[in-house]
Amino acid sequence: MVKAVAGTAREVRAYHPFSKLNALLAEVPPGPSPAPDGAPVALQIGEPQNDPPAWIDDRVAGHGGWNRYPPPRGTEAYRAACHGWLARRYPRGAQLVDPETQILPVPGTREGLFFAALAARRPGRDVVLLPNPFYHVYAGAAVAAEMTPVFVPATEATGFQPAYEALDAATLNRAALAYLNSPSNPQGSVADAERLRDMIALARRHDFVLALDECYADIHAGTTPPGGLDAAAELGAELANVLVFHSLSKRSSAPGLRCGFVAGDRAWLDALDATLRVGGAGVPLPILNAGTALWGDDDHAARNRERYDAAFAAAERALGERVARPAAGFFLWLDVGDSEAAAVRLWREAGIRVLPGAYMSVPDDDGANPGAAHIRVALVHEPAFLEPVLARLGAVLWGDGTGAAHA
């Protein structure tokens, strides 16, 4: 058995890390930053600072359709573009996906993942499984759906992936939904194909929805992460109990576009579709038009990977052996001993804003918080900008570069 812990907070905002960070730093004046203008530097949020392809502006402005409600199932062209990308990226799994009935547009993975918990609630199923540390939407969605979030360790000991299979059968049989994030936020770990197959099989044995959050799938360090659709194809010719979430926010540096999709189990997609219709979380026609073009173009995603490769190289030059390049994603997960203290020090002394790992995780029953010793640093700025900023971060946290702790 694993040392899972059931969440007790019953307010969505209790799991919002940025509200906690704002409160932590509210009375702390920022110091002069290493930015050229001395302005504070935001490294706390995974918001790409480079622009998406310029032509998406024409795709949005030239389309029209703002006088119409978003079509719940999107457009045929958008679904075809999503399926085309799946076929290039996950050729085996894409064969299981009917673009007419098994692809659902969503305004980014975050919204889809949130509404998935609302759609998954049913009699006798009142538990949501999620990793610890976790993306805050998972816990917030569980609370909004009036279910209990069960936090399962996702630490170095488990390869930064949650071992749901080690939970007791009673908990698994109460699960409505389980979130699996690969590549993961914040650690950048990747679940291998065997792990994905095992998780799909577990979901089917205990009849819960497996929500595979793959929004960082196109940002990786050379080895393409496997996906849930291909894993399902290896198990047979169906997508039962599987929903896979993808987005243009990271792949295309377009978080403001709010455009993504879900693919998978037709029955659960229908349930999610119905829930989205009630909540009004559709994707407008001009956005779908831009998204159609972005899913059809892989060149800009390849350039994005090159940019993040350069960002990690800058981090390695600035911080040396303290940087362990993750398999995917664009975050550093740095061991600093006390994440809250480190965040305050960086803000006060260097105007650098980072996210305490303690705010991305909850303590277990013994009081141990798996994220408390780490900070998450988003490498979203240009590499040339990042290198002096990270060098300053290292100087504040670890002294003069000799490894001595900063007083």
**In a shared domain, residues 202 and 345:** no
Residue of 44, 6, 71 lying closest to 381 (CA atoms) = 44
Q: What are the structure tokens assigned to 187, written together?
A: 């650690």
For the cut 60, the answer to whether the pLDDT of residue 406 exceeds it is no
Predicted pLDDT of residue 4: 85
**In a shared domain, residues 225 and 149:** yes
**In a shared domain, residues 289 and 327:** no
Q: What is the mean pLDDT of residues 398-403?
A: 59
- pTM of structure: 0.96
Q: Which of 297, 313, 346 is the last residue of a domain?
A: 297
Residue 404 within a domain: no
How sure is the predictor about 404, in pLDDT bands with cuts at 50, 70 and 90? very low
For the cut 80, the answer to whether the pLDDT of residue 407 exceeds it is no
CATH number of the domain bearing residue 32: 3.90.1150.10
Predicted pLDDT of residue 116: 98
Q: What is the 3-state secondary structure (H, E, C) of the chain?
A: CCCCEECCCCCHHHHCHHHHHHHHHCCCCCCCCCCCCCCCEECCCCCCCCCCCCCHHHHHHCCCCCCCCCCCCCCHHHHHHHHHHHHHHCHHHHCCCCCCCCEEEECCHHHHHHHHHHHHCECCECEEEEEECCCHHHHHHHHHCCCEEEEEECCHHHCCCCCHHHCCHHHHHHEEEEEEECCCCCCCCCCCHHHHHHHHHHHHHHCCEEEEECCCCCCECCCCCCCHHHHHHHHCCCCCCEEEEEEHHHHCCCHHHCCEEEEECHHHHHHHHHHHHHHCCCCCHHHHHHHHHHHCCCHHHHHHHHHHHHHHHHHHHHHHHHCCCCCECCEEEEECCCHHHHHHHHHHHHCEECEEHHHHCCCCCCCCCCCCCEEEEECCCCHHHHHHHHHHHHHHHHCCCCCCCCC
Residue 3 within a domain: no
How sure is the predictor about 2, in pLDDT bands with cuts at 50, 70 and 90? confident
Predicted pLDDT of residue 401: 46
**In a shared domain, residues 237 and 305:** no
Give the tens place of pLDDT for each residue, 113-135.
999 999 999 999 999 999 999 99
**What sign results for the dihedral spanned by CA atoms 202, 149, 158, 314?**
positive
Residue 25 within a domain: yes
Predicted pLDDT of residue 400: 52
State the average pLDDT for the chain.
95
CATH number of the domain bearing residue 119: 3.40.640.10
CB-based contacts of 167, cutoff 8 Å, min separation 6: 1, 2, 4, 129, 150, 152
Residue 406 within a domain: no
Predicted pLDDT of residue 1: 58
CB-based contacts of 281, cutoff 8 Å, min separation 6: 106, 107, 111, 115
**In a shared domain, residues 134 and 277:** yes
Phi and psi at residue 135, to the nearest 5°: -75, 130
Is residue 128 within 8 Å of residue 147, measured between CB atoms?
Answer: yes
Give the tens place of pLDDT for each residue, 336-347.
999 999 999 999
Residue 21 within a domain: yes
Q: pLDDT > 70: what percent of the chain?
A: 98
One-letter identity of residue 163: A
Give the tens place of pLDDT for each residue, 339-385.
999 999 999 999 999 999 999 999 988 899 999 999 999 999 999 99
Q: Which residue has the tokens 């659960």?
A: 268
**What sign results for the dihedral spanned by CA atoms 233, 235, 240, 241?**
negative
Domain range for 391: 12-46+300-398
**In a shared domain, residues 103 and 36:** no
**In a shared domain, residues 143 and 255:** yes
**In a shared domain, residues 139 and 220:** yes
Q: What is the mean pLDDT of residues 51-59?
A: 94
Q: Which of 251, 274, 297 is the last residue of a domain?
A: 297
Q: What is the mean pLDDT of residues 140-154?
A: 96
Is residue 33 within 8 Å of residue 27, measured between CB atoms?
Answer: no
How sure is the predictor about 186, in pLDDT bands with cuts at 50, 70 and 90? very high
Is residue 212 within 8 Å of residue 226, measured between CB atoms?
Answer: no
**In a shared domain, residues 276 and 343:** no
Least confident of 23-27, 167-171, 184-188, 280-284: 280-284
Q: Which residue has the tokens 């969605």?
A: 141
Predicted pLDDT of residue 288: 97
Give the tens place of pLDDT for each residue, 388-397.
999 999 999 9
**In a shared domain, residues 68 and 34:** no
Q: Which of 297, 323, 354 is the last residue of a domain?
A: 297
Residue 7 within a domain: no
**In a shared domain, residues 95 and 129:** yes
Predicted pLDDT of residue 124: 96
Q: How many separate domains does the chain show?
A: 2
Please tell me which residue, 366 or 174, carries the higher pLDDT value.
174
**In a shared domain, residues 366 and 384:** yes
Residue 251 within a domain: yes
Residue 51 within a domain: no
